[in-house]
């Protein structure tokens, strides 16, 4: 079953990490409203599945990858960091 994402929350630390890569929190929040996919985060295999990679597009078509972490609410996720999607990641979302 796909992860339902209705809300993304960005802490100040996450907003700073995104800003360092020229991504606004507003852009990151657009991903769940558009076509996206989630994958288990291969770099955190021992995190009990709490972290995922969210790969999607902004309203303007920019492809982004976010590391997100599950909260108590299964449809609300915390942004950890993010970057412009790589070629390989873009292929995943088509």
Note the pLDDT tens digit of each residue in 47-58: 666 889 999 999
Average pLDDT, the chain: 91
Neighbouring CB atoms inside 10 A of 54's CB total 23
Instruction: Provide the CA 37 distance to its chain's centre, in angstroms.
Output: 9
Percent of the chain with pLDDT over 90: 79
Straight-line distance from the first to the last Cα atom of the chain, in angstroms, rounded to the nearest whole number: 20
Q: Is the CB of residue 86 less than 8 Å from the CB of residue 53?
A: no
């Amino acid at each position: 079953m796909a992860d339902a994402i209705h809300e993304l929350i960005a802490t100040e630390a996450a907003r700073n990490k995104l800003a360092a890569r020229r991504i606004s929190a507003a852009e990151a929040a657009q991903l769940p409203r558009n076509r996206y996919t989630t994958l288990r985060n291969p770099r955190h295999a021992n995190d009990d599945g709490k972290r995922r990679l969210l790969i999607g597009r902004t309203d303007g078509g920019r492809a982004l990858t976010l590391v997100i972490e599950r909260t108590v609410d299964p449809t609300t996720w915390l942004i950890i960091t993010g970057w412009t999607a790589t070629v390989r990641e873009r292929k995943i979302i088509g």
